[in-house]
A and B are shown apart, each in its own frame.
Chain A
Amino acid sequence: MSQHLLQLQGVSLSFGGLKALDNVSFTVRPGEIIGLIGPNGAGKTTLVNACTGVHRPSKGRIVFEGMAIQGLPAWRVAHLGMARTFQIVQPFPRMSVLDNVAAAALFGGGIRNMREAREFAAAQLDFVGLEDQAGKPAATLSLAHRKRLELAKSLALKPRLVWLDEVNAGLSSADLDNTLSVIRRIAARGITIVMIEHLMKVVLGVSTRILVLKNGALIADGEPAQVISDPAVVEAYLGAHYTQDGERIHG
């Protein structure tokens, strides 16, 4: 296996005249926790969609574990070991929480037997701390629990890489700590993580590397401390006003 888990080479994606992704190239190595940041509309979710097969890039190559995956349908990508959570949570509302996760194991996870899929699902619910919600319909969960259900579902795909699309947005600080500990434990399982995140506390606290998108183009890629002090990043992300005031970024 090469040392690249995922490699993007000049990926562009246009919606009509709008260039949502503009010649994006980067690599993800196994074991990294990457923070993907950028202002609203920078193309972060579009990047996830391009990599997971929701949108087909208009240009460029995406190589996952040595296999070119650009243009593959999303369900195939899920079978290959790339999972994602949705910014707006997407449960199967009338299924039990357990069966929501079992469905992921049954399809992308490759466990074709329902009973074994449920057992595997139960273990994932344990892992994210939702075991006592297993029997409830997913529609009855609180937002914090739904976010963790998304995590459990993506883990049931047995992924080697997960995209976490704002799993912390809208959480109270207690729930936030909880999710953060889950994210750290996911990484400890050897699963590589790319997380879209607006909360700088989370990005700086967890990431081993940060990517910054602006208007669909990658403007920075490096160590958190180095990226965060890059004037171009600070200007793009927070406005020129903040460039002299490092403290405010951490707040």
Chain B
Amino acid sequence: MSKRIFIAQPLRATLMLLLCLALAVVAATGGSYWLRLASTAAMYVVLASSWNIVGGFTGYPSFATAAFFGLGAYVAAIAQTRGLPMAASWVAAGLFTAACAFALGLALLRLKGHYFAVGSLVVAEVLREIMAAGGTLTGGGMGLNLPLLSMAPQAIGRLYLAAFAVLAVASVLLSWAVLRSRFGAGLACIEQNEDAAVMLGVNTTLYKSAALALSALLAGLAGAVYANWINYIDPGDVFNVLLSVKPIVMALLGGIGTLTGPVIGAVGLVGLEEIVTRSFLDLTGVVLGLAVVALVLFLPHGVNGLAFMGRSLKGRQP
């Protein structure tokens, strides 16, 4: 519907292909450092795309990504301690998280703007408390250990990278499908003017909740794979507020509401984190914070907006 995608199509497509190629090279030849880095980047792509569906396409600034991520991780972990196979537990985690998000959305998405942001922030905190008080089911504050795979460490690393990579590609394809669909058009209407959307016949309650459910599906799946990847989860780790903040930063970095923005932002943030953490370990938070401020001030449309700016400076051509 709307002209959200700024960078020229061939450039974007080439960039995405290069990233896929880099991912494949790392998966085939990389050592454990590169495997970890690539897995993190792919997981971030999933989280940023997840946030983008509700925060970008729908215009609801969600801080609930950590809630869905953590819920997915816990559902997968609990399912596996009860004997469910790993892959089945991931699917169950994704679906359960999406269903919870849909129900939650019916209530929470009545709030708008800052009110919604604060409301969504609380969800992860509540879930964190519940899991910490969950006794033997959730392992309480001690967390849960997940079964180890009996494979060589490198092979395990490759397996999880592959899982995250599949999720990342699926996230982008899902976002693409949403953008092209009637559903996506409805979300765009909600994002730009919700009152008008209602009057034109958009079932906004349903659409917003469905968007939150899709977002939660991706975040829940990412959390489930993460639980197995790290082998151990505890409430403080998987409900960490940074898991809600970073996806927003990534979407900002790449371009909110665009298809490729979350991908560019995720890869960018992983790179930035590596450089910053290596050079100024004590100042990581400060530098990342300054980066966010600079982004909002100077690049409101993200990296994707750069090409757009260049074009509009040259002249007002469509």
Question: Which residues in A have some Cβ–Cβ distance to B below 8 Å?
Answer: 52, 54, 73-76, 78-79, 83-84, 86, 90-96, 99, 102-104, 106-109, 112, 114, 135, 153, 156-157
- List residues of B (1-31) whose CB comes within 8 Å of A's CBs: 1-3
Nearest-Cβ distance from residue A121 to partner chain B, whole angstroms: 11
Please determine whether B196 and A92 come into contact, CB atoms closer than 8 angstroms.
yes
- Of B3, B182, B189, B201, the contact of A92 (CB 8 Å cutoff): B189
Knowing A75-B202, A79-B201, the reply to whether A107 touches B193 (Cβ < 8 A) is no
State A157–B203 Cα separation when bound (angstroms): 14
Which residues of chain B come closer than 8 Å to A74, judged between CB atoms?
198-199
Please determine whether A107 and B196 come into contact, CB atoms closer than 8 angstroms.
no
State A91–B2 Cα separation when bound (angstroms): 13
Which residues of chain A come closer than 8 Å to B182, judged between CB atoms?
106, 112, 114
User: Does chain A have a CB within 8 A of B151?
Assistant: no
Q: Could you list 26 A-B pairs, sorted by A, with CB under 8 Å?
A: A52-B199, A74-B199, A75-B200, A75-B203, A78-B199, A78-B201, A83-B199, A90-B193, A90-B196, A92-B188, A92-B189, A92-B192, A95-B2, A95-B192, A102-B1, A103-B1, A103-B189, A103-B197, A103-B200, A104-B200, A106-B182, A106-B185, A107-B189, A107-B201, A108-B200, A156-B200
Please determine whether A86 and B203 come into contact, CB atoms closer than 8 angstroms.
no
Please determine whether B192 and A107 come into contact, CB atoms closer than 8 angstroms.
no
Please determine whether A78 and B200 come into contact, CB atoms closer than 8 angstroms.
yes
Nearest-Cβ distance from residue B207 to partner chain A, whole angstroms: 9
- Of A86, A112, A114, the contact of B199 (CB 8 Å cutoff): A86
Give the number of A-B contacts (CB < 8 Å).
Answer: 84
Contacts A76-B203, A114-B182 aside, 13 further interface pairs with beta carbons under 8 A come to A54-B198, A78-B198, A78-B200, A86-B196, A92-B189, A92-B196, A94-B192, A95-B2, A103-B185, A103-B186, A107-B197, A153-B200, A157-B201
Which residues of chain A come closer than 8 Å to B3, judged between CB atoms?
94, 96
B189 to A, closest residue via Cβ:
A103
- List residues of B (180-216) whose CB comes within 8 Å of A's CBs: 182, 185-186, 188-189, 192-193, 195-205
State A151–B201 Cα separation when bound (angstroms): 15
Please determine whether B199 and A90 come into contact, CB atoms closer than 8 angstroms.
yes
User: Does chain A have a CB within 8 A of B153?
Assistant: no
User: Does chain A have a CB within 8 A of B318?
Assistant: yes
Which residues of chain A come closer than 8 Å to B192, judged between CB atoms?
92-95
State A92–B193 Cα separation when bound (angstroms): 6
Please determine whether A93 and B193 come into contact, CB atoms closer than 8 angstroms.
yes
- B interface SS class: helix
Which has the most chain A C-beta neighbours within 10 Å: B2, B195, B201, B205? B201
Please determine whether A135 and B1 come into contact, CB atoms closer than 8 angstroms.
no
Which residues of chain A come closer than 8 Å to B2, judged between CB atoms?
92, 94-96, 99
Question: Which residues in B have some Cβ–Cβ distance to A below 8 Å?
Answer: 1-3, 182, 185-186, 188-189, 192-193, 195-205, 318
Please determine whether A75 and B198 come into contact, CB atoms closer than 8 angstroms.
yes
Nearest-Cβ distance from residue A207 to partner chain B, whole angstroms: 24
Which has the most chain A C-beta neighbours within 10 Å: B185, B189, B199, B202? B199
Nearest-Cβ distance from residue A111 to partner chain B, whole angstroms: 10
State A90–B195 Cα separation when bound (angstroms): 8
Nearest-Cβ distance from residue B184 to partner chain A, whole angstroms: 10
The 5 closest A-B CB pairs, nearest first, are A108-B201, A78-B201, A107-B201, A90-B196, A92-B192
Which residues of chain B come closer than 8 Å to A73, judged between CB atoms?
198, 203, 205
Nearest-Cβ distance from residue A158 to partner chain B, whole angstroms: 10
Which residues of chain A come closer than 8 Å to B195, judged between CB atoms?
86, 90
Nearest-Cβ distance from residue A103 to partner chain B, whole angstroms: 5
State A93–B3 Cα separation when bound (angstroms): 12
- Of B1, B196, B204, the contact of A99 (CB 8 Å cutoff): B1
Nearest-Cβ distance from residue B189 to partner chain A, whole angstroms: 5
Nearest-Cβ distance from residue B301 to partner chain A, whole angstroms: 12
- Of B197, B199, B318, the contact of A84 (CB 8 Å cutoff): B199
Please determine whether A107 and B186 come into contact, CB atoms closer than 8 angstroms.
yes
Nearest-Cβ distance from residue A147 to partner chain B, whole angstroms: 14
Nearest-Cβ distance from residue A120 to partner chain B, whole angstroms: 13
A108 to B, closest residue via Cβ:
B201
Please determine whether A107 and B200 come into contact, CB atoms closer than 8 angstroms.
yes
Please determine whether B196 and A109 come into contact, CB atoms closer than 8 angstroms.
no
- Of A76, A93, A157, the contact of B200 (CB 8 Å cutoff): A157
